[in-house]
Structure 1
Protein backbone atom coordinates (compact mmCIF):
# COMPACT_ATOMS: atom_id res chain seq x y z
CA UNK A 1 0.00 0.00 0.00
CA UNK A 2 2.88 2.36 0.65
CA UNK A 3 3.88 1.98 -3.01
CA UNK A 4 0.34 2.90 -4.07
CA UNK A 5 0.46 6.02 -1.90
CA UNK A 6 3.83 7.00 -3.35
CA UNK A 7 2.38 6.56 -6.86
CA UNK A 8 -0.57 8.80 -6.01
CA UNK A 9 1.76 11.42 -4.55
CA UNK A 10 3.98 11.40 -7.66
CA UNK A 11 0.96 11.59 -9.97
CA UNK A 12 -0.52 14.47 -7.97
CA UNK A 13 2.75 16.43 -8.16
CA UNK A 14 3.08 15.70 -11.87
CA UNK A 15 -0.45 16.92 -12.64
CA UNK A 16 -0.23 19.95 -10.33
CA UNK A 17 3.03 20.98 -12.05
CA UNK A 18 1.45 21.04 -15.48
CA UNK A 19 2.47 17.48 -16.28
CA UNK A 20 6.13 18.10 -15.59
CA UNK A 21 8.56 17.06 -12.91
CA UNK A 22 10.57 20.27 -13.14
CA UNK A 23 10.84 22.57 -10.18
CA UNK A 24 10.59 25.95 -11.96
CA UNK A 25 7.30 27.48 -10.76
CA UNK A 26 7.01 29.89 -13.72
CA UNK A 27 7.45 27.15 -16.31
CA UNK A 28 5.09 24.83 -14.42
CA UNK A 29 2.47 27.57 -14.27
CA UNK A 30 2.71 28.22 -18.03
CA UNK A 31 2.37 24.50 -18.80
CA UNK A 32 -0.57 24.15 -16.42
CA UNK A 33 -2.30 27.18 -17.97
CA UNK A 34 -1.85 25.66 -21.44
CA UNK A 35 -3.29 22.26 -20.47
CA UNK A 36 -6.68 21.54 -22.08
CA UNK A 37 -9.54 21.32 -19.60
CA UNK A 38 -10.25 17.73 -20.66
CA UNK A 39 -6.67 16.72 -19.82
CA UNK A 40 -7.00 18.24 -16.36
CA UNK A 41 -10.32 16.47 -15.78
CA UNK A 42 -8.92 13.14 -16.93
CA UNK A 43 -5.87 13.56 -14.69
CA UNK A 44 -8.06 14.31 -11.70
CA UNK A 45 -10.26 11.33 -12.54
CA UNK A 46 -7.18 9.06 -12.53
CA UNK A 47 -6.17 10.39 -9.10
CA UNK A 48 -9.71 9.71 -7.90
CA UNK A 49 -9.57 6.12 -9.18
CA UNK A 50 -6.13 5.56 -7.62
CA UNK A 51 -7.50 6.76 -4.26
CA UNK A 52 -10.63 4.62 -4.70
CA UNK A 53 -8.55 1.49 -5.22
CA UNK A 54 -6.36 2.38 -2.22
CA UNK A 55 -9.41 2.77 0.04
CA UNK A 56 -10.85 -0.55 -1.13
CA UNK A 57 -7.50 -2.26 -0.58
CA UNK A 58 -7.19 -0.77 2.92
CA UNK A 59 -10.64 -2.13 3.75
CA UNK A 60 -9.68 -5.56 2.43
CA UNK A 61 -6.59 -5.58 4.65
CA UNK A 62 -8.67 -4.47 7.61
CA UNK A 63 -11.30 -7.18 7.06
CA UNK A 64 -9.14 -10.04 5.81
CA UNK A 65 -5.79 -9.43 7.48
CA UNK A 66 -3.14 -11.84 6.23
CA UNK A 67 -5.73 -13.57 4.05
CA UNK A 68 -6.07 -10.42 1.90
CA UNK A 69 -3.20 -11.60 -0.30
CA UNK A 70 -5.04 -14.83 -1.09
CA UNK A 71 -8.26 -12.98 -1.94
CA UNK A 72 -8.61 -12.39 -5.69
CA UNK A 73 -9.34 -8.72 -5.07
CA UNK A 74 -11.72 -6.37 -6.80
CA UNK A 75 -14.18 -7.99 -9.17
CA UNK A 76 -15.07 -5.85 -12.22
CA UNK A 77 -18.82 -6.18 -11.70
CA UNK A 78 -18.46 -4.87 -8.13
CA UNK A 79 -15.93 -2.10 -8.77
CA UNK A 80 -16.46 1.22 -7.02
CA UNK A 81 -15.90 4.13 -9.38
CA UNK A 82 -15.42 7.12 -7.09
CA UNK A 83 -13.37 7.88 -4.02
CA UNK A 84 -16.39 9.58 -2.44
CA UNK A 85 -18.39 6.35 -2.64
CA UNK A 86 -15.48 4.24 -1.37
CA UNK A 87 -15.02 6.73 1.48
CA UNK A 88 -18.74 6.53 2.34
CA UNK A 89 -18.62 2.74 2.47
CA UNK A 90 -15.32 2.14 4.24
CA UNK A 91 -14.19 5.26 6.14
CA UNK A 92 -16.11 4.45 9.34
CA UNK A 93 -14.69 0.95 9.43
CA UNK A 94 -11.15 2.26 8.85
CA UNK A 95 -11.52 5.03 11.42
CA UNK A 96 -11.33 7.84 8.86
CA UNK A 97 -13.33 11.07 9.25
CA UNK A 98 -16.68 10.73 7.45
CA UNK A 99 -16.94 14.45 6.63
CA UNK A 100 -14.11 14.14 4.05
CA UNK A 101 -16.66 12.58 1.70
CA UNK A 102 -18.11 16.01 0.93
CA UNK A 103 -14.70 17.30 -0.22
CA UNK A 104 -14.31 14.21 -2.42
CA UNK A 105 -17.74 14.88 -3.94
CA UNK A 106 -16.68 18.47 -4.70
CA UNK A 107 -13.47 17.26 -6.31
CA UNK A 108 -15.43 14.75 -8.43
CA UNK A 109 -17.74 17.55 -9.60
CA UNK A 110 -14.68 19.63 -10.56
CA UNK A 111 -13.37 16.70 -12.62
CA UNK A 112 -16.61 16.61 -14.55
CA UNK A 113 -16.55 20.37 -15.13
CA UNK A 114 -13.05 20.06 -16.55
CA UNK A 115 -13.86 17.00 -18.66
CA UNK A 116 -17.20 18.09 -20.06
CA UNK A 117 -17.07 21.86 -20.07
CA UNK A 118 -14.77 24.75 -20.73
CA UNK A 119 -14.39 25.62 -17.06
CA UNK A 120 -11.15 27.59 -17.10
CA UNK A 121 -10.91 30.76 -15.08
CA UNK A 122 -8.33 32.49 -12.91
CA UNK A 123 -9.08 30.17 -10.00
CA UNK A 124 -8.82 26.87 -11.87
CA UNK A 125 -5.00 26.59 -11.56
CA UNK A 126 -4.98 26.95 -7.76
CA UNK A 127 -8.07 24.70 -7.55
CA UNK A 128 -6.22 22.02 -9.52
CA UNK A 129 -3.21 22.26 -7.23
CA UNK A 130 -5.43 22.15 -4.14
CA UNK A 131 -7.26 19.05 -5.43
CA UNK A 132 -3.97 17.31 -6.24
CA UNK A 133 -2.66 18.08 -2.75
CA UNK A 134 -5.89 16.78 -1.22
CA UNK A 135 -5.66 13.49 -3.12
CA UNK A 136 -2.06 13.00 -1.96
CA UNK A 137 -2.94 13.91 1.65
CA UNK A 138 -5.98 11.63 1.74
CA UNK A 139 -3.92 8.74 0.35
CA UNK A 140 -1.51 9.23 3.25
CA UNK A 141 -4.43 9.30 5.68
CA UNK A 142 -5.74 5.99 4.30
CA UNK A 143 -2.30 4.40 4.63
CA UNK A 144 -1.95 5.65 8.22
CA UNK A 145 -5.41 4.30 9.08
CA UNK A 146 -4.59 0.91 7.55
CA UNK A 147 -1.31 0.76 9.45
CA UNK A 148 -2.95 1.66 12.76
CA UNK A 149 -5.63 -1.01 12.23
CA UNK A 150 -2.94 -3.59 11.43
CA UNK A 151 -1.42 -2.94 14.80
Structure 2
Protein backbone atom coordinates (compact mmCIF):
# COMPACT_ATOMS: atom_id res chain seq x y z
CA UNK A 1 0.00 0.00 0.00
CA UNK A 2 2.76 2.44 0.91
CA UNK A 3 4.59 1.58 -2.29
CA UNK A 4 1.53 2.54 -4.39
CA UNK A 5 1.38 5.96 -2.72
CA UNK A 6 5.08 6.54 -3.32
CA UNK A 7 4.71 5.44 -6.92
CA UNK A 8 1.71 7.71 -7.52
CA UNK A 9 3.50 10.59 -5.79
CA UNK A 10 6.57 10.03 -7.95
CA UNK A 11 4.40 9.96 -11.06
CA UNK A 12 2.61 13.15 -10.01
CA UNK A 13 5.93 14.86 -9.22
CA UNK A 14 7.29 13.83 -12.64
CA UNK A 15 4.17 15.23 -14.33
CA UNK A 16 4.43 18.47 -12.36
CA UNK A 17 8.11 18.84 -13.27
CA UNK A 18 7.29 18.36 -16.97
CA UNK A 19 4.60 21.06 -16.73
CA UNK A 20 7.02 23.38 -14.92
CA UNK A 21 9.66 22.92 -17.61
CA UNK A 22 7.08 23.72 -20.31
CA UNK A 23 5.95 26.88 -18.53
CA UNK A 24 9.50 28.04 -17.73
CA UNK A 25 8.30 30.23 -14.84
CA UNK A 26 10.30 30.85 -11.65
CA UNK A 27 7.35 29.91 -9.41
CA UNK A 28 4.51 27.53 -10.21
CA UNK A 29 1.54 26.19 -8.27
CA UNK A 30 -0.28 23.16 -9.71
CA UNK A 31 -3.24 21.31 -8.18
CA UNK A 32 -3.19 17.61 -8.97
CA UNK A 33 -5.44 15.18 -7.18
CA UNK A 34 -5.65 16.01 -3.49
CA UNK A 35 -2.26 17.75 -3.43
CA UNK A 36 -1.02 21.17 -4.44
CA UNK A 37 2.49 21.18 -5.89
CA UNK A 38 4.62 24.30 -5.42
CA UNK A 39 7.81 24.74 -7.42
CA UNK A 40 10.63 27.22 -7.37
CA UNK A 41 13.17 27.38 -10.21
CA UNK A 42 16.52 29.02 -9.33
CA UNK A 43 19.89 28.69 -11.10
CA UNK A 44 18.83 25.66 -13.15
CA UNK A 45 17.49 23.76 -10.14
CA UNK A 46 13.78 23.07 -9.60
CA UNK A 47 12.64 22.76 -5.98
CA UNK A 48 9.34 20.93 -5.44
CA UNK A 49 7.03 20.85 -2.45
CA UNK A 50 3.66 19.06 -2.12
CA UNK A 51 0.98 20.39 0.19
CA UNK A 52 -2.49 19.18 1.10
CA UNK A 53 -3.73 22.70 1.80
CA UNK A 54 -4.88 24.55 -1.32
CA UNK A 55 -5.49 27.77 0.62
CA UNK A 56 -1.98 28.20 2.02
CA UNK A 57 0.53 29.36 -0.57
CA UNK A 58 2.71 31.36 1.82
CA UNK A 59 4.08 28.45 3.87
CA UNK A 60 5.19 26.29 0.90
CA UNK A 61 6.76 29.34 -0.80
CA UNK A 62 8.72 30.22 2.34
CA UNK A 63 9.75 26.57 2.73
CA UNK A 64 11.06 26.39 -0.85
CA UNK A 65 12.88 29.71 -0.52
CA UNK A 66 14.67 28.61 2.67
CA UNK A 67 15.51 25.19 1.24
CA UNK A 68 16.91 26.69 -1.96
CA UNK A 69 19.03 29.24 -0.07
CA UNK A 70 20.42 26.55 2.21
CA UNK A 71 21.05 24.18 -0.69
CA UNK A 72 22.91 26.83 -2.70
CA UNK A 73 25.11 27.64 0.34
CA UNK A 74 26.15 23.98 0.59
CA UNK A 75 29.94 23.70 0.03
CA UNK A 76 29.46 20.83 -2.44
CA UNK A 77 27.41 23.17 -4.66
CA UNK A 78 30.44 25.39 -5.27
CA UNK A 79 32.26 22.61 -7.11
CA UNK A 80 32.66 23.32 -10.80
CA UNK A 81 31.17 20.02 -11.99
CA UNK A 82 28.32 19.35 -9.63
CA UNK A 83 26.41 16.14 -9.93
CA UNK A 84 24.03 14.83 -7.29
CA UNK A 85 25.94 12.56 -4.98
CA UNK A 86 25.21 10.54 -1.89
CA UNK A 87 27.19 13.08 0.15
CA UNK A 88 24.81 15.88 -0.84
CA UNK A 89 21.73 13.68 -0.42
CA UNK A 90 22.78 12.47 3.04
CA UNK A 91 23.77 15.94 4.17
CA UNK A 92 20.64 17.54 2.80
CA UNK A 93 18.17 14.94 4.13
CA UNK A 94 18.79 16.26 7.63
CA UNK A 95 18.32 19.85 6.48
CA UNK A 96 15.06 18.97 4.71
CA UNK A 97 13.87 17.10 7.79
CA UNK A 98 14.48 20.15 10.00
CA UNK A 99 12.71 22.50 7.58
CA UNK A 100 9.77 20.10 7.22
CA UNK A 101 9.36 19.91 11.00
CA UNK A 102 9.60 23.69 11.30
CA UNK A 103 7.09 24.49 8.56
CA UNK A 104 4.66 21.72 9.52
CA UNK A 105 4.69 23.03 13.10
CA UNK A 106 4.07 26.57 11.82
CA UNK A 107 1.18 25.26 9.73
CA UNK A 108 -0.33 23.54 12.80
CA UNK A 109 0.09 26.77 14.79
CA UNK A 110 -1.57 28.79 12.03
CA UNK A 111 -4.39 26.22 11.86
CA UNK A 112 -4.95 26.57 15.60
CA UNK A 113 -4.89 30.36 15.27
CA UNK A 114 -7.40 30.18 12.42
CA UNK A 115 -9.70 27.96 14.48
CA UNK A 116 -9.44 30.30 17.47
CA UNK A 117 -10.28 33.21 15.19
CA UNK A 118 -13.32 31.37 13.84
CA UNK A 119 -14.51 30.60 17.38
CA UNK A 120 -14.10 34.27 18.31
CA UNK A 121 -16.07 35.31 15.21
CA UNK A 122 -18.89 32.90 16.06
CA UNK A 123 -18.91 34.16 19.65
CA UNK A 124 -19.15 37.78 18.43
CA UNK A 125 -22.05 36.94 16.07
CA UNK A 126 -23.88 35.12 18.87
CA UNK A 127 -23.38 38.08 21.21
CA UNK A 128 -24.76 40.46 18.56
CA UNK A 129 -27.76 38.18 18.01
CA UNK A 130 -28.48 38.07 21.75
CA UNK A 131 -28.25 41.87 21.91
CA UNK A 132 -30.71 42.16 19.02
CA UNK A 133 -33.12 39.75 20.71
CA UNK A 134 -32.95 41.77 23.94
CA UNK A 135 -33.59 45.00 22.01
CA UNK A 136 -36.61 43.43 20.27
CA UNK A 137 -37.93 42.17 23.60
CA UNK A 138 -37.58 45.68 25.04
CA UNK A 139 -39.46 47.20 22.06
CA UNK A 140 -42.13 44.51 22.35
CA UNK A 141 -42.57 45.33 26.06
CA UNK A 142 -42.92 49.03 25.20
CA UNK A 143 -45.47 48.16 22.52
CA UNK A 144 -47.38 45.94 24.97
CA UNK A 145 -47.36 48.71 27.60
CA UNK A 146 -48.68 51.24 25.06
CA UNK A 147 -51.38 48.80 23.96
CA UNK A 148 -52.42 48.29 27.59
CA UNK A 149 -52.44 52.09 28.13
CA UNK A 150 -54.52 52.60 25.00
CA UNK A 151 -56.94 49.88 26.03
CA UNK A 152 -57.29 51.42 29.47
CA UNK A 153 -57.90 54.85 27.92
CA UNK A 154 -60.54 53.40 25.57
CA UNK A 155 -62.23 51.62 28.47
CA UNK A 156 -62.28 54.78 30.58
CA UNK A 157 -63.60 56.82 27.66
CA UNK A 158 -66.38 54.30 27.00
CA UNK A 159 -67.41 54.43 30.66
CA UNK A 160 -67.64 58.20 30.61
TM-score by length of 1: 0.31
Higher helix proportion, which one? 1
Highest CA radius of gyration, 1 or 2? 2
Q: Which has the higher strand share?
A: 2
- TM-score w.r.t. length of structure 2: 0.29
